[in-house]
Amino acid sequence: MAGLSLKHIYKVYPNGTKAVNDFNMEIADKEFIVFVGPSGCGKSTTLRMIAGLEDISAGELMIGENVVNDMEPKDRDIAMVFQNYALYPHMTVFENIAFGLRLRKLPKDEINKRVTEAAEILGITEYLGKKPKEMSGGQRQRVSLGRAIVREPKVMLLDEPLSNLDAKLRTQMRSEIAKLHAKLQTTFIYVTHDQIEAMTMGTRIVVMKSGFVQQIDTPKNLYNYPGNKFVAGFIGTPQMNFFEGTLLKKGEEVEIKFEYSDAKITVPYSMMYKARPSYLDGQSKVYIGLRAEAVSVNPEVVKASKFKIKVRVSHKEELGNQTLIYGDINMDGDGYTESSTRIIISADATAECKSGDVIDAALDISKVHLFDKETEQSILPRIPEYNYIDCEVKEGKLIFLGAELKLPPAIKTPDGKYELLIPTDAITTGGKDAAITVKDCENINGKYVVSFELGERTMFAVADEEVKHGKAKIDVDLKKISLIKDGETVVEAMPEKIRLEGKLVKEKVVEQVETDGKFKKKKVIKFFLQIEDCKLPCPDSAATKLITAMGVKKAFTEKLIYECSPYDLTVAEEGISASVESVLDYGKEKFAVCKIGETTACVYGEAYGEVKLLPAVDKLSVIQAANDIRII
């Protein structure tokens, strides 16, 4: 039994295919994790890297307490089940299950005990003397499961184990595997392209596309809170309806207009607090996502609803307990082909309507999803990144929603009205006896999303710890805010990352080495991180990571990007040459704006003139510039 930790895992195949990009995940002991996504998205590659069947190009993989990047598969304490069963045809079922244990030279009694137990769990006791060819696909897969569980692995890896089975058997085996997981109390990682399999089995699901993780969440959260259009469309049957549309804010309401049709509804602005105001201009295109069950044709629901659209029915699919009504919100649309006006409605079996009817449908607006038309990311993210608020700058003060903050010298802009962006992680709440009411604090995947009342609206903060309901004070980290006027950012947030260019260098250095009590001069190879004009000693462990990930040649020739925070560079005797252009005074903190080569970077502290900046080597991230792989 063990948890796993995957940190910045990449896979680049020798032919250059980047199969997995920056995979990050902590898997707790006993979880049932499913990797799901269309063919070629990188799920098997990730699983095979965990198994040790593929090298990890960059990143760190831990199973339990151990970093296993360089550990042989047999030493990783994992067992793997494949789609094609991979049984030995000339051996009996017993021998197949016992094979690995015999290789490991376990005592005969122990082997007998484990095989008998596994066969019982899997219901194949009566087949132990048979050969695989005498068995059905489902039974063969049970044998390969048996072979995996007798090893009593810390982690079970399953790669599309049910793909070769027919639909009925697949459903049956699905619940058997879930049962097996509950019984074994072992961490399971399961790969499938079938979203139903993923949804029914996983405690958490990793949705992947084109080598990138799209979202990691519980089945329920993926369904209810998809972070982007791909996840929204991939999870759930029938597929979510997507319409193109625009949003227009009119006072305290927002009009949602569906393109290529006359459909429009008006919803309260409070629903859109998490959305950037530029989406609400009636111009920016969005996708409106509605699941089939978020649309109703039930006459009573329709009668009571304020959110109605017209649908021209094209055909129905009677599924017994429910009917899927296919239609179009464009009265000239055909309702058959997938389009941005086609709609599928889940209705009960008694729903009465026929082809050609134009009916009213009610929308459950609490279940509307909105995505950016270009990036396809949700514009109402569950963990919001920013608060978007109208504000005014007046006589050195920032005024918004009844709050007033004194602006520090670093923020200079003429008096007037602006759009204010406050990142949710720039707001801290605490103290008491203040005007702010904390309405809610929700734990979302380990982060606490705090919603609080400020003036007439809700704002959000994201905290690492729970915040109590009730009255509180807020504090805003003003170096993180931006001010926008007429679509242009006039006050920029201070960059949180500094990126500098450089290389990895090796040099032969003469050192005094002690052998048998005598000192001798010896040439040793030392590694250095060349950052701009500065050469820093590079720890051997970091050099090894870079050489392993990039190959011996490229590691010393290719450009690297070093990334750190403004707090990780300090003024010192030796270091990177920089000239200080100005000092940003945020009140509590000051930052020197430094020119380093072509780069401008804000560095914590007050400094003037020509300086040397020393980076904290252990805080540096190192990125291979050519293919944007974060190696350290």
The answer to the question of residue 41 lying near ligand ADP (CB under 6 A) is: yes
Q: Which of 522, 523, 632, 614 is nearest to 576 (CA)?
A: 614
- Taking the C-alpha atoms of residue 8 and residue 308, their distance in angstroms, rounded to an integer, is 46
Three-state DSSP state, 31: coil
The DSSP code for 76 is T
Three-state DSSP state, 278: helix
**Residue whose structure tokens are 């005094």:** 512
Q: Which is nearer to ligand ADP, 37 or 245 (CB)?
A: 37
Among 21, 23, 45, 213, binds ligand ADP (CB under 6 A): 45
The interface mask with ligand ADP, positions 434-473, x = CB under 6 A, is ----------------------------------------
Name the minimum Å distance from CB 626 to ligand ADP: 18
The answer to the question of residue 15 lying near ligand ADP (CB under 6 A) is: yes
Name the minimum Å distance from CB 13 to ligand ADP: 3
The answer to the question of residue 489 lying near ligand ADP (CB under 6 A) is: no
Chain residue at closest Cβ approach to ligand ADP = 44
- Taking the C-alpha atoms of residue 547 and residue 629, their distance in angstroms, rounded to an integer, is 13
Stretch that binds ligand ADP, among 42-50, 131-139, 530-538, 556-564 (CB under 6 A): 42-50
**206 contacts: CB under 8 Å, gap ≥ 6:** 25, 33, 34, 35, 36, 43, 213, 215, 216
Name the minimum Å distance from CB 34 to ligand ADP: 12
Asked if omega into 238 is within 30° of 0 (cis), the reply is yes
Name the minimum Å distance from CB 48 to ligand ADP: 7
**Residue whose structure tokens are 């109390």:** 185
Q: Within positions 185 to 224, which residues make up the interface with ligand ADP, using CB under 6 A? A: none
- Taking the C-alpha atoms of residue 500 and residue 101, their distance in angstroms, rounded to an integer, is 53
The answer to the question of residue 162 lying near ligand ADP (CB under 6 A) is: no
The answer to the question of residue 9 lying near ligand ADP (CB under 6 A) is: no
Stretch that binds ligand ADP, among 37-45, 168-176, 441-449, 455-463 (CB under 6 A): 37-45
Among 44, 83, 139, 261, binds ligand ADP (CB under 6 A): 44
Q: Which of 563, 582, 579 is nearest to 571 (CA)?
A: 579
| Tokens found for residue 543 | 């050099």
The answer to the question of residue 13 lying near ligand ADP (CB under 6 A) is: yes
Stretch that binds ligand ADP, among 40-48, 297-305, 356-364, 434-442 (CB under 6 A): 40-48
Q: Which of 117, 118, 116, 98 is nearest to 107 (CA)?
A: 98
**504 contacts: CB under 8 Å, gap ≥ 6:** 527, 528, 529, 530, 538, 543, 546, 547, 555, 556, 560
The separation between the first and the last C-alpha atoms of the chain, rounded to the nearest angstrom, is: 28
Stretch that binds ligand ADP, among 9-17, 222-230, 296-304, 496-504 (CB under 6 A): 9-17
The answer to the question of residue 161 lying near ligand ADP (CB under 6 A) is: no
The answer to the question of residue 50 lying near ligand ADP (CB under 6 A) is: no
- Taking the C-alpha atoms of residue 80 and residue 145, their distance in angstroms, rounded to an integer, is 8
The CA–CA distances, whole Å, from 405 to 24, 235, 395, 420, 539 equal 38, 44, 11, 13, 45
The answer to the question of residue 43 lying near ligand ADP (CB under 6 A) is: yes
Name the minimum Å distance from CB 20 to ligand ADP: 7
The answer to the question of residue 17 lying near ligand ADP (CB under 6 A) is: yes
The answer to the question of residue 81 lying near ligand ADP (CB under 6 A) is: no
Among 42, 146, 219, 566, binds ligand ADP (CB under 6 A): 42
Among 2, 6, 19, 189, binds ligand ADP (CB under 6 A): 19
Total of chain residues touching ligand ADP, rule CB under 6 A: 12
The answer to the question of residue 40 lying near ligand ADP (CB under 6 A) is: yes
**CB contact at 8 A, 522 and 510:** yes
Q: Which is nearer to ligand ADP, 40 or 100 (CB)?
A: 40
Q: Which is nearer to ligand ADP, 12 or 361 (CB)?
A: 12
The DSSP code for 458 is E
Question: Which residues are near ligand ADP by CB under 6 A?
Answer: 13, 15, 17, 19, 37, 39-45
